[in-house]
């Protein structure tokens, strides 16, 4: 017997699966046998008595899980941090364990009542005595870790649990004598696995397979070179044997029904203090969120981003708007296991419009551009939302906002200039904002919108959606008329499908009536429009009769050739070669257009810009100042345009494929509307609606 080791246990006199607070308990309510549990518990008790002194705490009626003494608290030296149970079902155990520790002369530390921490179930000392591993994610809160570091004067390494079956650290992780580690890697997130690999050398790691993990092989009591567990596979016994450990199996199947085994049934109450000084890398920030937090799903997205990013949160306060039009506000404390993880999470929260609360805001961090066209590592990637950066104590508005850029800072006589730039445009001598400090984005919160951009399905089978498309078309027609009458700007991006589906006559009409102020597309829209205008076919199909024309497959090449002969589309119009169609209307009405080249292009037309950087710059120029962008059946150009458009510009994406519409709405812009329908029908409805609005349906109907 090792005199120095003392273990606390609690007899299973009141043990029962009475409720479900972990996946093991599901389906097991009242299915455990107390008689069998007592036999198994006694066997474990006898085994442990041969290696250690076992103390007992009095079991209490009504608290069936008290048998799992690992969750009483965390002992180190003469101090104990008492557990604060996450589930009310176990909170009643706390006073009994507190009494026991006080009676034994321990100094008892009490965490705030609202801060869950489940003792040695979620905090395990490295057996080489160097640090404390602490789990979070299900039962214990990350914010409890700095308390452990301070009170117990120990370095705390935080590990995030991600598999609900392994809800406590001691169900999937077991430090062993001499710095060995028995653990089940898939129970942890990537960051935690990386941390484990950094601290424990490969020869000391003993990763176990799922078959052993679900038999609670990690829920092991380790005393010197002995490991006591429920069950181990032959492979695991060999792996442990090769490292000088003796495996003692003692069946604990009745306790597995409640999600516990050997380690859960014990608490080591003699733990020598490690040498290392206190430290916890846990970092926290408080952020403020404001707007229609519930209607827009913003608060859920923010909390999901924190958890998915490896952090944890506490909602410090939430003020719900009382009326439908009122905004809500929330303050949320965000904690992460270290500064790098916090910075990543903060980057995502800033994108969602969260602001660090005033006293915590620090200046934006800058790093110089040392190679033209290359940003420093860790540069802040911009979003579509208006952004400001804190430089020299002032919030400076970022100009030229677009997504997927970097924020370049330059100083001039007028002061600090912050500009959103593409990587390729960064110049040596500029500085770039890095990290997530001193950055805030603003989201439009004045209008109430559905939680997710609504997709209006017209063609979708079984959905009575025609009326819904009509409704959205009514809204778009209203916007187009308002923007035109107020001297605003509407940009149309269009693919060749507009022509194939017979939509060109309607698009022509929109251009003629002053609803379109710039047209963006590729080679194809122009080629097929010109083919239709010159030969009456689109891709060789007669647009009047809907049948293929003999030799029609060459028509588009003939159309390209004719324009090439003239030198440009404008010259073809001038020379009377091109006399109708979308491109003709653009030239005639001085509507600027830009055709971006692609690898698919035939010809190309002389106007098609085959230099993509030039084409992108041309698109950006034409988008500037747009109030609305109508994206008509071109995935390539619609997504390209979406990426370079700042928030605040309304986007209407019409495509037959819901995935394209969703891709655009995923930018998070609450201004975007997706319409899943045939583009020819959409344009026809739109023109009809505009005619109704302007009262000239009868005379001008196309």
Q: What is the dihedral of CA 467, 472, 478, 484, to 10 degrees?
A: -130
Strands 394-399 and 415-421: parallel
The answer to whether 345 and 336 have CB atoms below 8 angstroms apart is: yes
Which of 231, 616 has the CB closer to ligand NAD?
A: 616
Interatomic CA distance for residues 41 and 219, integer angstroms: 15
Compute the least distance from the CB of residue 583 to ligand NAD, in Å: 13
Compute the least distance from the CB of residue 625 to ligand NAD, in Å: 24
Compute the least distance from the CB of residue 422 to ligand NAD, in Å: 20
List binders of ligand NAD among 501-520 (CB under 6 A): 501
Compute the least distance from the CB of residue 119 to ligand NAD, in Å: 56
* Strand blocks (E) in 93-202: 107-109, 123-125, 132-136, 155-160, 173-176, 180-183
Which of 11, 656 has the CB closer to ligand NAD?
A: 656
- Contacts with ligand NAD, 620-639, as mask; x by CB under 6 A: -------------xxxxx--
- Contacts with ligand NAD, 458-497, as mask; x by CB under 6 A: -------------------------------------xxx
List binders of ligand NAD among 658-697 (CB under 6 A): 660, 678-679
Residue nearest ligand NAD by beta-carbon distance: 522
SS3 letters across 27-81: CCCCCCCHHHHHHHHHHHHHHHHCCCEEEECCCCCCCHHHHCHHHCEEEECCEEE
List binders of ligand NAD among 569-608 (CB under 6 A): 598, 600-602
Does 616 bind ligand NAD (CB under 6 A)? Our answer is no
Interatomic CA distance for residues 109 and 148, integer angstroms: 9
Interatomic CA distance for residues 223 and 590, integer angstroms: 86
Catalytic residue among 168, 506, 517, 555: 168
Strands 226-229 and 608-609: unpaired
Write the CA distances from 583 to 499, 519, 572, integer angstroms: 11, 9, 10
Compute the least distance from the CB of residue 506 to ligand NAD, in Å: 13
| Residue 174 β-bridge partners | 182
Compute the least distance from the CB of residue 608 to ligand NAD, in Å: 8
Compute the least distance from the CB of residue 344 to ligand NAD, in Å: 32
State how far Cα 221 lies from the chain centre. Answer: 38
Does 562 bind ligand NAD (CB under 6 A)? Our answer is no
Which residues does 335 contact at the CB level (< 8 Å), separation at least 6? 142, 143, 282, 283, 284, 311, 312, 313, 314, 342
Stretch that binds ligand NAD, among 48-56, 447-455, 522-530, 585-593 (CB under 6 A): 522-530
List binders of ligand NAD among 291-350 (CB under 6 A): none
In this structure, the chain runs to a length of: 702
Does 656 bind ligand NAD (CB under 6 A)? Our answer is yes
Going by the DSSP 8-state scheme, the letter that residue 489 receives in this structure is: -
Stretch that binds ligand NAD, among 156-164, 202-210, 371-379, 650-658 (CB under 6 A): 650-658
Which of 420, 681 has the CB closer to ligand NAD?
A: 681
Compute the least distance from the CB of residue 497 to ligand NAD, in Å: 4
Assess whether 168 carries a catalytic annotation.
yes
Which of 423, 610 has the CB closer to ligand NAD?
A: 610
Interatomic CA distance for residues 57 and 86, integer angstroms: 22
| Among 143, 437, 529, 655, interactor with ligand NAD by CB under 6 A | 655
Which of 47, 636 has the CB closer to ligand NAD?
A: 636
Which of 405, 495 has the CB closer to ligand NAD?
A: 495
Written as six digits, the tokens of 20 are: 């479900």
Catalytic residue among 10, 172, 218, 264: 264
| Among 522, 552, 581, 668, interactor with ligand NAD by CB under 6 A | 522
Nearest to 63 by CA among 30, 94, 27, 98: 94
Q: Residue 211: how many CB atoms within 10 A of its CB?
A: 12
Write the CA distances from 640 to 402, 485, 643, 650, integer angstroms: 12, 28, 5, 15
| Among 524, 583, 622, 683, interactor with ligand NAD by CB under 6 A | 524
* CA-only gyration radius of the chain, Å: 34
Residues carrying an active site annotation: 168, 264
Q: Which residues bind ligand NAD (CB under 6 A)?
A: 495-497, 501, 522-524, 527, 556, 598, 600-602, 633-637, 655-657, 660, 678-679
């Amino acid at each position: 017997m090792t005199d120095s080791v003392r273990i606390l246990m609690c007899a299973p006199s009141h043990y029962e699966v009475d409720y479900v607070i972990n996946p093991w308990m599901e389906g097991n309510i009242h299915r455990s046998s107390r008689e069998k549990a007592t036999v198994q518990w006694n066997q474990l008790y006898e085994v442990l008595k041969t290696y250690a002194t076992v103390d007992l705490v009095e079991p209490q009626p009504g608290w069936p899980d008290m048998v799992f003494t690992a969750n009483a608290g965390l002992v180190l030296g003469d101090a104990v941090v008492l557990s604060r149970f996450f589930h009310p079902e176990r909170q009643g155990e706390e006073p009994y364990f507190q009494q026991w520790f006080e009676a034994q002369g321990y100094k008892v530390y009490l965490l705030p009542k609202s801060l869950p921490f489940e003792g040695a179930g979620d905090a395990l000392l490295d057996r080489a005595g160097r640090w404390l591993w602490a789990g979070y994610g299900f039962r214990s809160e990350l914010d409890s870790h700095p308390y452990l570091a301070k009170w117990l004067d120990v370095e705390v390494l935080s590990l995030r649990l991600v598999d609900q079956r392994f809800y406590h650290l001691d169900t999937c992780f077991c430090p062993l004598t001499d710095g060995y580690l028995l653990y089940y890697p898939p129970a942890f997130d990537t960051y935690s696995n990386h941390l484990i690999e950094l601290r424990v050398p490969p020869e000391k790691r003993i990763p176990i397979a799922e078959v052993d993990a679900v038999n609670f092989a990690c829920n092991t009591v380790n005393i010197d070179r002995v490991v006591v567990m429920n069950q181990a596979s032959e492979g695991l016994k060999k792996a442990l044997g090769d490292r000088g450990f003796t495996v003692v199996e003692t069946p604990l199947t009745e306790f597995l029904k409640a999600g516990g085994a050997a380690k859960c049934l014990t608490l080591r109450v003699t733990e020598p203090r490690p040498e290392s000084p206190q430290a916890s890398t846990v970092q926290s920030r408080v952020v403020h969120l404001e707007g229609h937090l519930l209607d827009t799903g913003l608060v859920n997205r923010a909390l999901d981003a924190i958890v998915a990013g490896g952090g944890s949160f506490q909602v410090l306060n939430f003020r719900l708007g009382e009326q439908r039009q009122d905004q809500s506000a929330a303050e949320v404390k965000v904690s992460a296991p270290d500064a790098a993880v916090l910075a990543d999470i903060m980057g995502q929260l800033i994108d969602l419009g969260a602001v660090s609360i005033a006293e915590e805001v620090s200046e934006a961090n800058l790093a110089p551009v040392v190679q033209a066209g290359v940003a420093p590592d860790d540069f802040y990637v911009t979003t579509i939302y208006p952004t400001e950066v804190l430089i020299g104590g002032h919030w400076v508005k970022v100009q030229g906002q677009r997504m997927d850029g970097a924020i370049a800072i330059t100083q001039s006589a007028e002061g600090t200039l912050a500009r959103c730039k593409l990587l390729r445009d960064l110049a040596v001598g500029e500085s770039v904002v890095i990290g997530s400090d001193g950055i805030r984005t603003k989201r439009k919160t004045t209008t109430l919108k559905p939680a997710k951009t609504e997709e209006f399905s017209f063609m979708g089978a079984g959905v009575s959606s025609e009326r819904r498309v009509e409704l959205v078309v009514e809204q778009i027609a209203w916007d187009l008329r308002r923007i035109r009458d107020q001297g605003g700007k509407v940009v149309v991006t269009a693919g060749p499908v507009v022509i194939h589906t017979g939509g060109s006559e309607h698009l022509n009409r929109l251009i003629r009536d002053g609803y379109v102020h710039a047209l963006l597309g590729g080679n194809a829209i122009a080629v097929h429009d010109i083919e239709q205008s010159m030969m009456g076919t689109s891709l060789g199909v007669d647009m009047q009769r809907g049948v293929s024309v003999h030799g029609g497959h060459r028509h588009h090449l003939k159309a390209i050739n004719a324009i090439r002969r003239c030198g440009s589309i404008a010259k073809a119009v001038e020379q009377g070669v091109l006399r109708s169609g979308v491109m003709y209307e653009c030239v005639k009405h001085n509507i600027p257009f830009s055709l971006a080249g692609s690898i698919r292009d035939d010809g190309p037309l002389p106007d098609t810009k085959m230099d993509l950087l030039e084409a992108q710059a041309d698109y950006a120029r034409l988008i500037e100042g747009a109030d609305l962008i109508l994206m008509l059946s071109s995935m390539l150009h619609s997504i390209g345009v979406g990426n370079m458009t700042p928030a605040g510009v309304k986007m209407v994406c019409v495509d037959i494929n819901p995935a394209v519409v969703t891709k655009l709405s995923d930018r998070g812009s609450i201004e975007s509307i997706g319409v899943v329908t045939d583009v020819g029908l959409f344009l026809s409805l739109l023109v009809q609606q505009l005619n109704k609005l302007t009262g000239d349906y009868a005379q001008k109907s196309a």
